[in-house]
Structure 1
Amino acid sequence: MTKQALILFAHGARAASWAAPFERLRDLTRTRLPEVRVELAFLELMEPRLPEMVADMATQGIADVTVVPVFLGQGGHVLRALPLMVEQLRIDHPQLSFKVVGAAGEDPAVLNALTDYCVNSL
């Protein structure tokens, strides 16, 4: 059984179709990391929410959790809401080790891929 987990953390929306690209991202990531449990969790408006996802992982023997905010920038949700949530998760699940990386859109490779997409749109 895997001891590592990667949670793709997205905002959430009222329209179910909004989650489709994030679900594809999750599936593509799973394919590249078969030894890691890869899941998608949401801040609000959609399920599963991050606390419920982590609680499930804790019961499944996961030891290390990495949270990847799939946001374009480090706005209030990433700078304020996420750290508070992870702080509470550390209290609720002291047996788990948490790592939170920066917003996906701030990574140079992601920005280059988005630039390529924009340029190729002409």
Structure 2
Amino acid sequence: MDAVLYIGHGSRVKAGIDQAKRFISSCMETCRMPIQEICFLELAEPDIPEGIRRCVQRGASRIIIQPVLLLAAGHIKKDIPAEIEKAAKDYPDITFIYSHPFGVHDMIIDILIERIQEQGDAFSDDAFVLLVGRGSSDPCIKTDFQQIKQMVEGRGITRAFPCYLAAADPSFEEGLDFAQATGYKKIFVVPYLLFTGILMKEMEQTIRERNQGNQSFILCQSLGYHAKLKKLLSRRIEESIRSNDDEQLSYHA
């Protein structure tokens, strides 16, 4: 029997956990899999081993491991595969298929543009977009963000610049400094994050301190668990179902 195990990141903010659960539960309503469970990488329960155990206990013979994460970094390439390898030893009769995260996709760019447009400020030649990612030491994250920047600029936006909240350069503060130095009057700060939480609150405070001159820093909403993300997650699961045996337990780049 087939199962899907959805893996969220986890958060110290209860609202973030609740938001993730609501989104995944809504995805479960449209998924045809007979067994579906939710777990988290960290900071929330159940963890991955418990999520796998629950799938097996319910009669799963094949488990699609579906990360509910934006990009492929350390969690995707190391942490989750390590848990799958352990589970494969514990449950040798179970087939594990490792699915894609959301990745870089046109539907996510649609959401980014929507987050800018919903601010009600017309985007013009005197505006600038600062893309803010969580950050990672994995160099692929910067490559992905460069692609995201180009895709955003391909939607009629004159200038976009990526920066990161941690573990990568330029930092968020450096990004704000760069944006300020450009002289653009409107600077749209667009968080490439799934949900509001501690990081968003810190960004709000930093931007309030910057909004004291003739430039306007406009903090957009995070991506949130948008309907288009729900559609993309369903697509990732369907792709995994179609994958062949040689692709099991591997990350599809």
* Same-fold call, TM cutoff 0.5: yes
The amino acid that maps onto 1:114 is I
Partner of 1:121: 118
The amino acid that maps onto 2:73 is G
Alpha-carbon distance in structure 1 between the residues aligned to 2:70 and 2:33: 27
Instruction: Kindly indicate whether residue 75 of structure 2 is the aligned counterpart of residue 86 of structure 1.
Output: no
Contact kept? 1:26, 1:38, Cα under 8 Å: no
Contact kept? 1:6, 1:65, Cα under 8 Å: yes
**Cα shift at 1:109:** 5.1
Map 1:93-112 to 2 at 5 A: 93-104=91-102, 106-108=103-105, 110-112=107-109
Alpha-carbon distance in structure 2 between the residues aligned to 1:119 and 1:13: 25
**Cα shift at 1:89:** 0.9
Map 1:52-63 to 2 at 5 A: 52-63=50-61
Alpha-carbon distance in structure 2 between the residues aligned to 1:58 and 1:4: 10
More helix by share: 1
Contact kept? 2:7, 2:41, Cα under 8 Å: yes
Runs of at least 5 residues in structure 1 that lack an aligned partner in the other structure? none
Partner of 1:43: 41
**Cα shift at 1:116:** 4.3
Alpha-carbon distance in structure 2 between the residues aligned to 1:51 and 1:5: 14
Calculate percent identity across the aligned residue pairs: 21
Q: How many residues align?
A: 119
TM-score (norm 1): 0.84
Q: 1:17 aligns with which of 11, 15, 18?
A: 15
Contact kept? 2:71, 2:104, Cα under 8 Å: no
TM-score (norm 2): 0.43
RMSD over aligned CA atoms reads: 1.8
Instruction: Render the CA deviation track for 1:22-58: whole Å, top value 9, x for unaligned.
Output: 1122211121125432221101110001101111221
The amino acid that maps onto 1:81 is D
Alpha-carbon spacing, 1:75–1:55, altered in 2? closer, same or farther (3 Å): same
Alpha-carbon distance in structure 1 between the residues aligned to 2:24 and 2:36: 7
Alpha-carbon distance in structure 1 between the residues aligned to 2:63 and 2:7: 12
The amino acid that maps onto 2:117 is N
Contact kept? 2:3, 2:33, Cα under 8 Å: no
Q: Which has the higher contact order (CA 8 A, sep 6+)?
A: 1
